[in-house]
Structure 1
Amino acid sequence: MIRTTSAVAVFSLCLCMVSTSLGAGPTEQRRELSRAASQIKAAERFAKAGRGDDAKKSIAAAQEALNNIADGLDKRFEGRFKRAQDALAKTHAELTSAGIELPPLANVQPTGRQPNRPSAPAGSGPPAGGQVSFVDHVRPILTRHCGNCHVSGSRGGVSFANYASITDGNRFVERGSGSESLLVDVIASGQMPPSGNGPTPQEARVLVMWINQGAKFDGDDPSKPLGQLAKSATPATPAKPAEPKPDAKPIPMATGDETVSFAVDIAPLLTESCNDCHGTRRPSAGFSVTNFQRLWAGGNSGSAVVPGDSKNSLLVKKLHGTADGARMPQNRPAWNREQINLVERWIDEGAKFDGPSATESLERVSAVVRSQRLTPEQLSADRQQKAEQQWRLAIPDEKSTTATSKNFLAIGNLPPQRLEQLLTAAEGQAAEVAKYFQKADEPFSKARVTIFAFDHRVDYSEFGTMVERRSLPTEMRGHSKFDLVYPYVALVVDPSDDDVNQLLVAQQLASLWVADQADGRLPAWFAEGAGMAIAARVHKSDPTVDEWRGELPAAVASLREPDAFINGKLPPAATATLSFGFADALLQKRSNLERLMTATAKSGDFDAACQQVFKRSPKELAELWVATERRRR
C-alpha cells in the first residue's frame, strides 16, 4: 500500500494537539514506555563508553517516563510497565556497581485504569457475512468516535464531514484493503482517538469489512453531511478518481525519443513547488497536480498544457508571471530559467507521459521511473540513502552499522561481525529460494535489498511506529515490505542466539521474491503465506515449521467464514497461520504458484488471475481448501 505522508502527518498533528489537553492517554503511555526502554539502553551504551554523566541523564529520563504514566496506567500496559521497571532497576544496579553515582530509584507503583471501551450498541454491525452499509453501520461508528474532532470539525486539517471527504484520494481508505487502510491503522494502533475510547473490536471489524467490500456508499448524496444522510434505494457508485471526459484529449504516451522525461524531470518540480496549493483535496482554481490525469484535465481556466505549444500553455505563462493573476508558484521562489526551459521543452515535444499510471501520485511516478532508469549501482546507492534516513527516523539516538553483500544491504545496531553473519545467512537463504523456483542464475533483485536488523524488540517496535506508522503485533519478530522502488526486510536478531534464525530470514526473502515475481500485485496476506510455505519447504526439519502446521487444525476449526483470513477479519497471527496453510496446499504443485504469479503480474488483478489459473475466485478457493482441511482432520 502507498500511503501519503501528509495524511499520516495530519493525524499525528491532531494526536499531539489533543493529547496535550487530555493528559497521558493510551498513545502517550505507549510512547513513554518506548522512551523508557530507549533511555535504559542508552544508559548502558553511555556507561560502556565511559560517559557517566550521560548515563546518569538517561537513567533519570527513563525514570521520568515511567513516573509520567504511573498514575492512571492503562491495564493493558501493566506487563510492559513492570518489565521496564525491572530493566531500569537492573541497569541502575549495574551502573552503581561500576562506580557511577546515581540517585536511588523512586518506588513507583502504577494505579491501574481499565480502558473505557463500551460495547458496541445493538444493531451497530451487519449480519454475519452480510453487506456493510455506510449509512447504517459505518456512519454511526465515525460519528460516535470521530465526531467532535473530524465530523463536526476538521481538527488537524482532517475532515470526515461527508462520505466524499472520507474516501477522496485514497488517503484514509484503500478500497479492498481494510487492514492496510490508514483509517483502520490509526485506530488499531491506538493513535486515534487520543482519548483511548476508540471503536470496539466489533466496530473495527465493521470498518475493515466495509473497506474490503469496496467502501461502498448507500446514501442519497456523497457530499451531504453525515448527519443529514438518508438511505437510498439506488445507492450511488463509490467515488473514483476522475476519469477523462469522452471529449477530452487523450493522454499522449512517450515513445522514448523525447529529451525531457515528465516522470524524472517535471514531476519532481511540480511536487516540490505546487503541492501546497494544487495537491490538496480542494485544489486552488480547480487545478490539481496530485497525478498526471488531473494535471492533464486542467482547472477552472481550462487546460494548463497545450501539447506542442509551450508559448500558449497556461502553465508556462503562470511560471513566467505573464498570465492573469499571480505568478506561480505563489509565495515561493520563482523557478529559474533552466527549470522553466525543461517544462517548455517537455510541452513542445508533445507533453508526453512516461509513467506507469496516470492516476498514481506524481511522487510515486517519479520514484518508479527513476528506479527503472538507474543502474543497479545507482539504485543500490539510492536505497542505502533511504535506509539510513529511515533508521534515523526510527532510532535517532543510536548510530547504525552497515554492511553489504552481493544482494543485500544490512543496517542495524548489531556488532559488525553479527551483521556479517546476517548477510551470510541472507545470501544463503536467497540462493535456496531461487533454487526452489529453479532460477538459481537470476539476481535476487535489480539492486541491493535492505535488511534492517534490530538487537531488541523495542527498536523493532519503534521502527513500526515511526517508519510504517503502525503497531507491530507483539509476537512478530520480522516482516518484509515489497515495493518496486524500495523493498526491505526488518528483523529482530536476538543477541543471545548463537546463530541467525535461518527460517525467519528465508520466510521474509521468499515473501519478497513472490511479490516481486508478481510485480507487486499480490495481496499482502497471500505473499506472507507463500513466504512461509516456501520457507517450510526449504527448512523441512525446523521445529517451528511443525508448530506452524500444528496450529492449523484449531485455526481452521475456529473459522466462521472460510474466507475470513482473506478479508482482514482476523488478527494478524491467525491470518498468517491460515494464509500459510492455504499457500502450502497450493504449493503441492509449484507450477500452480508460478502460473498464478505470472497471471497476476500480467493482469494486475489477483482475483482475475485466480479465475484464469484455477477457474475459481479467491473466496471459492478458500472455501474449497477449508472444506478439504476439515474433512482431513
Structure 2
Amino acid sequence: MTRVQNGLAGFLMLAIVVASSVAVAAITPAQRKELADIRNDAGKAASLISKKKFEEAEQALKDAEDRLAALIKEAQLEETDPALTPVRKVIELQRANLAKKSGAGGADEISFAKDVAPILAAKCVSCHDDDASGGLRLDTFAGMEKGGKNGPLAIPGRPQNSQLVFRVMTPNPQLRMPKNAAALTPEEIQKVAAWVAAGAKFDGEDKATELANLGKKKPAGPPPEIMKATGDEKVSFIRDIAPTLVNTCGGCHGAGRQSGGLSLATFERVMQGGDSGRVIVGGSLEGSRLWRMVNADEEPVMPQGQARITRKWHADLRTWITEGAKFDGGDAKKPLREMIPSEEQIKAELLAKLTPAEWVAKREKDSKDQWGRVFSKNAEPTMVQGPEFIVLGDVSEARLKDVESWATQYAGKLREMFGVKDEPLFKGKLAIFVLKERFGYEEFNNTIHRREVPREVTGHSEVTPGLEEAFIAVQDVGDEVSAESPGLHGAVLEHVTGAFLKRSGGTLPDWIIRGAGLALSGGKSGPAGAYVSGLQGEAGAILRTAMLSKPEDLFQNGTFAPGEVGAIGFTLVDFLLKQGGPANFGRLVARLQAGDKVETAIQTVYKSDSRVLAAAYASTLGSGSRKSGKK
C-alpha cells in the first residue's frame, strides 16, 4: 500500500474503533453477532488481495455487502444507524485496497473534477450556494478553499482532521451532512476521503467555475468576428482599453483563472466571451454584457473587490464599443500582455510627438514644478533663457546670465568636438539650477532625488532616457578657483559635459562623467585650471590607500567615494586621451553607451587588458599628499 493509502487505512480503522463504542441496543444479540461475522469476513479480503486473488476478494466483499443489506432489512434498521458503521468502514477500506492493488484506480489517482465535484454538486450545493449555510460555499472550489466559520474544509493529506470527511461519515445524524437527506454512499465517502488523503488537489481550469460545470467543454461556437481598426477611431484598444483589462481584470479572467468561462488573455478570447455568451458586441452598448456590468446596469458589477477603474477608462470603453469594438493590434491570438505598451513606451511615444516649441514649454514647466517641490510654490525662481539652456535659481539675474553665457559658449565646443549638428544639444534645452546656499543644494537633492550628498559634492547632472528630464544643479561656490574648488564657471562646464554624455543613453561610470567634464572643459588651462592642477597628486594619494582587490577594479563604477571620483576621473580620462587620443576615447564612450561592459570596451578600443591599462595609469600619478575637503 502507498503512504497515502496507509494513512487513509489508519484513519478508517480509527473510525471503526470509535464507531464500535456507539450503543446498538436497537438490534438483537444474534444480529450483533451477524454484524461481527460480516465485518470479519470482509476483513479476510485483505489476505486474498495480498495474494493477488482479486476476483475472490471482490466476491468476498460483494457477499459481505449482500449479507449486510439483508440484515438491515430483517432488523428494519435505518441506513444511518451507528451500528452499521464499523462493518461498512471495513468494506470501504478493503474496496480501496482492492482498487489500488488491482490497478482499478486509487487515492493517488483520484480526480476532484471527475470524482469529487459531481458528488458535492449533487449532494451539498443546494444548502451551500449563495445563501452559504454556516458561512460555507460549496458551489465552487474557490468557496471550498475559503472555508466557513469553522475554518478550512479540507486539510491536504489529513482526512482524519478534515471537516469535509468528518461531516459526511459521522454516525451522528445531528452532525452528518447532507442534513435531512440520504447519507453519501460508502463509495462516495471513499472518494472524498481518498481525495483529501492524496492532497486535496484541484485539477480543473478555473477554481471559480461552478462544480456542476467542471470538466465540461463548452460547445464550440463560430469564431468571433474581428473588426480591424481603420486609424480614424477616437479610442485605441491596445493603448486605451487593453492595459486596464489586463492589469485590473486579468487576475480573475486571465490565462490561468477564467471566472465565468471568460478569458481576457487575447483579443480573440475577449470577443469569444464566456459561459454566458459574448460580452462585447461592437456598436451595441446594450448588447455588450461587459459594458452593462462595468456601468452597474447588471449584477455583478465589475470589477469586483477593491479594483477600481478611472473615469477616463469608463468613457473610453463606451466610445470603443460604440465605434465598433475594433482591434488595432497585430495577431488577435497573441497574448494582450505582450502587446500593451509599458509606461516608459507610452511616455516615449508622447514625447516623440512634441514640437520643438512644445519641448521647450515642457522643460520650462517641469523646471518650475521641480523648484516648487523643493521650495515654496510661491517662491518663484529667477529665470533666463538662451538658445541652448534654461537657467533658473535664487541668485541674481546677472549671475544667471553669466552661467548661460558660459554654458552656451561651451555647447559650441562640444558640438564641434563630437561632430553634433543638433540644435539645441538637448530637446527642450538643458535646465541649469543655480542654488545660492549649501542648504538649497542639499534640499534639492533630498527632495528631487531622495538622497544625502557629501559636503564636498557641489553639483551633479540628471538626464533620463528620452530626455524627459535633462538638468544640472550646482551650488554657487563663487568665482575663486583653488585646489579645493573649481569655481562656479568650472563646475558648470563639468556638469554640462556630464549631461551631454548622458544624452545618448546607456550607462557610463561616474569616473568617465566627472573626469570627462574636467578634462574636456580645458583641463589645467581651462577655467578650473588651479583646481585641476592638484588632482594628479590627489589621485595618487587616493589610489595608494584604496586597497583594490584587483587593479582592473579601478574602472568599475562605485569603487571610489563621491569625493574621490573627481580626482580619479580626471586623471584617468586625461591618461586615456593621451594614450589613444580623443577619437579612441570617444569610441570607448560609445561602446559603453551601447551596453558593453568596461572590460570588453577597453579590450575592443585600446587592444589592451584592463589590468595592464590600470597599472600603466597608476605609474603616471604623482606622489603628492592627499588633501581633505576636495570636491
Q: TM class, shorter-chain normalised?
A: 0.3 to 0.5
TM-score of the two chains, using structure 2 as the length reference: 0.48
Over alpha carbons, which structure has the higher Rg?
2
TM-score of the two chains, using structure 1 as the length reference: 0.48
